[in-house]
Structure 1
Amino acid sequence: MQQERLQFLFDRYVSREASNAEERELMEMVVAPANKGLLMNILRTYMHDELPLSLPSDTAEETLLAFIREERKGPQGGVVRMRWWMIAAASIIVLLATFLLSQSRRHTAVVTRHELAAADVPAGHSGAVLTLGNGQVIQLDAAGNGALAAQGKVTISKSADVVSYKLSGHESGPVVYNTLSTPRGRHMSMVLADGTQVWLNAASSIRFPSAFTNGTRHVEVTGEVYFEVAKVFSPDGKHRLPFTVAAGNTSIEVLGTHFNVNAYTDEPTVSTTLLEGAVKVRKERQEVGLLPGQQSVLGQDGHLTVNTHVNTAEIMAWKEGYFHFESTTLAAALRQFSRWYDVDIVFEGKLPEDKIFAIIKRSNSLSTVLKALQTTNTHFKIDKELTTGAGKKLIISMN
């Protein structure tokens, strides 16, 4: 009976059909020591016996990481997306491995239900604010599907969590700039008039012309934004029109490519990560070129460097609906939580510099995410939660 229930919940989870209650039940069963053998059998079936699962082990996390990284490599060493079931299975393996490891070590702390209740903040969802060139403001959270507005020969419409700009004919009027902004706790995607697809993480924005004219394509972004740039050719068809992005103090030039820009003002660096194609990143007189799987980093010292060893799955997890931490400090993770759950997180005491490891769905509530982190040997307690005029504030400290 127990095995059948665990199998049922696991199948529902990896097929994206599990309800929130079923996910909670599955996680409770995963961390129950009595279910370890049953879970290992299920995971081996999904992993086709490719992953050694000798747990607990000090190398359990490293083994899993090696397996995931190997699966991310394409036939020629390129970057590919992990299959959904693999991400789901990996997240359960991580939860189990880190939980069992935490049980084998001292000084393990547990967040009480009362403390977690203080952090029971729901996950963010789709929504944004669209500001048109004439000053009109459209709250997309409340806007229904269909046409939103028109600017010249451009029609603006919304379908679910996507805003689309569609140009009919040739736009010859003056350039009109619009801005799409996501508050904290929101995300949104859009299609520009040239067909370029854009995804905005929480607390981000993009300023763009309603239609690209005069053979130029230029946008400005803040926060974190992912682009899949459309290939657009000149009228004579001889060359592609460049696409440029201004982010922080950097300028990114592309011809047709997939890349992620992280330019949050509360992050120590401005980074551009390339997944496909080629880009040039400039900062004043400095310029670097990127190949797929590489990342440019503008440090606080103003120097532009290239990181050739990039975990693209970790960087792109936000777009796929996950928090994915491998080379992330607790401080960096808390900044992500603050933006996604729209809550100010205050950490009292010295923040540990150790890297944390976790794969958690962004659809979970904040309390669920913090509980998952507790199983990764990142031990902290929630001291108190306050509601201020500026919103929620969560105060936590290390045990």
Structure 2
Amino acid sequence: MEDQQLHTTFRMTGLLAGYLRNTLSDAERQELEQWLAANESNRAILEELINEEKAAEEWRKLAYYRERTEKAREELAAEVARRKVFRTRRLFFYRAAGVLLLVLAAAAAIWQTQFRKPDHITTAEYAENVLPGSQKAQLVLSNGNSMELNTGNDTSFMQGASVKVQQQQGLLAYEDINDNYEEIQFHQLITPKGGEYHLLLEDGTHVWLNAASSIRFPTRFSGTERRVQLSGEAYFEVAKDVKKPFIVDVNQHTSIQVLGTRFNVNAYTDEEKINTTLLEGAVAVNSGSFGRAIAPGQRAVTDHDGNKAIIVEPADTVRAVAWKNGVFDFNDTKLSEVMRQVSRWYNIDIVYEKSIPDIKVWGRMERNQNLQQLITILNGMDVRVKLESVNKLIVLQ
């Protein structure tokens, strides 16, 4: 059964390729039409592939994998025939436009994990024990005391006489329950590596905090502005209040000002730039002596020290907030950036055997998978890694 499924996978890949090149015979075209008619998702694959821009990109990737894939199929078929047992490996579904590449990458992954020497691949027993991140954080109160937050320790308490704080199922919520305008106090929410958390501020603003990030905020807002301090990455859905602009201070050089909007800020200090991506509303970004406004679908790129002009460019908004939606979205992403995301989410150290490979990665997978699933995708892209222990991943090339 598995052998037949594998044959069908490669057969359909070849027919799709032939369709795009207009080289199908009448019989092959009829076979492809039957496959397309069998499932709506099959037809969606073809419709995405014939998009000129996406198809051009996939063909560029296809050229890279073609030689590996042909060899993988020959060796895999021989191995299946000899053993009579084939251990299926789960395919990770990229966007429809990347399905052709996915099939080829998956075949290459099988070849690498089955036929390469053991010292060139990751020990599966280790990788399967490296679990993805979860909802957990540390809340630091104004008096310096702290408490651990996760989905299993629901709690509520009063902060002073006016603010109720409630933690339930991964959500930390603040509520101003009376008009007692006592002294404002500040809290800090910190996510570790392998953690994320959802915060509801007193004004109704929602904040999703990514791994290895922190946000400092008042327990309730007063005065003429709403100001918070962010380190790392967060997605904001700001409650509109024309009398009180919402300001996010990223560091001493950069701030983001809004009234009511949805946007993502990636300000990790180990990333090359600070990226502010706007999904809805309007945002003004200030960095040093520079200032720019951005519109929905754009992102502002600033440096960490505020010495360079702000760059405004079109943004991939789906990719920018993929983490918040529980997805890794690597679309033409540098391997070094991919590995930084992996390090934060799986709480592991990344070590490069030599220099950092200057290569790009394509792929999309759910963030709730264990590390072995991600390694399979990397292997399929000829990125060789070795997991020495449950917290140390070595990139071998």
Which bin holds the TM-score, normalised by the shorter protein?
A: 0.7 to 0.9
Instruction: Check if 1:364 corresponds to 2:369.
Output: yes
- Please tell me the residue identity of whatever aligns with 1:45: E
Out of 250, 270, 277, the position equivalent to 1:247 is 250
For 2:46, the equivalent position in structure 1 comes to 51
Aligned counterpart in structure 1 of residue 8 of structure 2, from 23, 29, 34: 34
Residues 214-242 of structure 1 deviation map (CA, whole Å, 9 limit, x = unaligned) = 2320000000011000012xxxxxx4320
- Which consecutive residues of structure 2, in runs of 5 or more, have no partner in the other structure? 14-34, 61-91
Q: Which residue of 1 aligns with 2:395?
A: 396
- Indicate how the Cα distance of structure 1 residues 213 and 154 shifts in structure 2: closer, same or farther if over 3 A, else same: same
Q: Does the 8 Å CA contact 2:197/2:208 hold for their aligned counterparts?
A: yes
Deviations 1:49-79 (A, max 9, x none): 4734779xx97583699xxxxxxxxxxxxxx
The 3-state SS of whatever aligns with 1:353 is: coil
**How far is the alpha carbon of 1:284 from its aligned partner?**
2.2
Q: Which amino acid aligns with 2:346?
A: Y
Secondary structure class of the residue paired with 2:377: helix
**Contact 2:36 2:42 (8 Å CA) reproduced:** no
Percent of residue pairs identical = 33
CA distance in 1, matches of 2:3, 2:254: 47
* Contact map agreement 2:45 2:99 (CA 8 A) in 1: no
Root-mean-square deviation (CA, aligned residues, Å) is 3.3
Asked if the contact 2:265–2:277 (Cα under 8 Å) also holds between the matched residues in 1, the reply is yes
Which deviates more, 169-178 or 206-215?
169-178
Q: What is aligned with 2:142?
A: 133
SS at match of 1:374: helix
Q: Tell me, what secondary structure is at the counterpart of 2:222?
A: coil
Corresponding position of 2:319: 314
Question: 1:191 corresponds to which letter in structure 2?
Answer: L
CA deviation profile, 1:20-51 (whole Å, cap 9, x unmatched): xxxxxxxx999934345689648951365473
Q: Which TM-score applies when normalising by structure 1?
A: 0.75
* Aligned equivalent of 1:175: 184
Structure 2: distance between partners of 1:328 and 1:214: 42
The aligned counterpart of 1:230 is 239
Q: How many positions carry a matched residue from both structures?
A: 334
Code of the residue aligned with 2:188 in structure 1: it is T
2:126 and 2:56 map into 1 onto residues whose CA distance is 30
SS, match of residue 230 in structure 1 = coil
Structure 1 gap segments, 5+ residues each: 3-27, 66-87, 233-238
What is the one-letter code of the residue matched to 2:181?
S
Counterpart position of 2:344 = 339
Cα distance in 1 for partners of 2:362, 2:97 equals: 12
Does structure 2 retain, via aligned residues, the 8 Å contact 1:296–1:304? no
| Cα distance in structure 2, aligned partners of 1:30 and 1:158 | 51
What is the letter of the counterpart of residue 243 of structure 2?
R
Pairwise CA distance, 1:143? 5.5
Task: Find the aligned partners of 2:163 and 2:395 in 1 and give their Cα distance.
Answer: 49
Structure 1 contact 51–64 (Cα < 8 Å) conserved: no
Q: 1:273 to 1:371 in 2, by over 3 A?
A: same
Q: Which residue of 2 aligns with 1:162?
A: 171
Which amino acid in the other structure matches residue 285 of structure 1?
S
Q: Which residue of 2 aligns with 1:206?
A: 215
Map 1:300-311 to 2 at 5 A.
302-311=307-316
Equivalent position amino acid for 2:40 in 1: T
What is the SS of the residue equivalent to 1:340?
A: helix
Query: Does the 8 A contact of 2:197 with 2:209 survive in 1?
Result: yes
Answer whether contact 2:329 2:365 (CA < 8 A) is retained. yes
- The 2-side partners of 1:318 and 1:244 are apart by 23
- Give the superposition deviation at 1:145: 2.4
Larger radius of gyration: 2
Whole-Å Cα distance in 1 between the matches of residues 212 and 165 of structure 2? 22
The residue aligned with 2:86 is: none
Q: 1:38 to 1:354 in 2, by over 3 A?
A: closer
Mapped contact 1:274–1:291 kept (Cα < 8 A): yes
Name the counterpart of 2:77.
Answer: none
From 333, 343, 350, give the equivalent of 1:328.
333
Give me the whole-angstrom Cα distance separating, in 2, the residues matched to 1:217 and 1:166.
Answer: 15
1:378 aligns with 2:382: yes
Task: Give the partner amino acid of 1:347.
Answer: Y
State the 1:141 CA deviation. 2.3
Map 1:183-194; keep pairs closer than 5 Å: 183-194=192-203
Conserved? CA contact 2:162–2:176, under 8 Å = yes
Q: Is the 8 A contact 2:225 2:244 kept in 1?
A: yes
The CA distance in 2 between the partners of 1:358 and 1:31, in whole Å, is 22
TM-score by length of 2: 0.75
Task: Return the offset for 1:99.
Answer: 3.9
Which residue pairs with 2:124 in the alignment?
116
Which secondary structure state, in structure 2, belongs to the residue aligned with residue 332 of structure 1? helix
**Using a 3 Å threshold, how does the CA distance of structure 1 residues 133 and 60 change in structure 2: closer, same or farther?**
same
Give yes or no for the alignment of 1:151 onto 2:151. Answer: no
SS in structure 1 at match of 2:314: coil
Q: Are residues 45 and 145 of structure 1, via their aligned partners in 2, closer, same or farther at CA, if it must alter by over 3 Å?
A: same
Could you tell me which amino acid in structure 1 is paired with residue 190 of structure 2? S
Residues 105 and 377, structure 2, Cα contact 8 Å, conserved in 1? no
Equivalent residues of 2:161, 2:180 under 8 A apart: yes
Distance 1:42 1:206, change over 3 A: farther
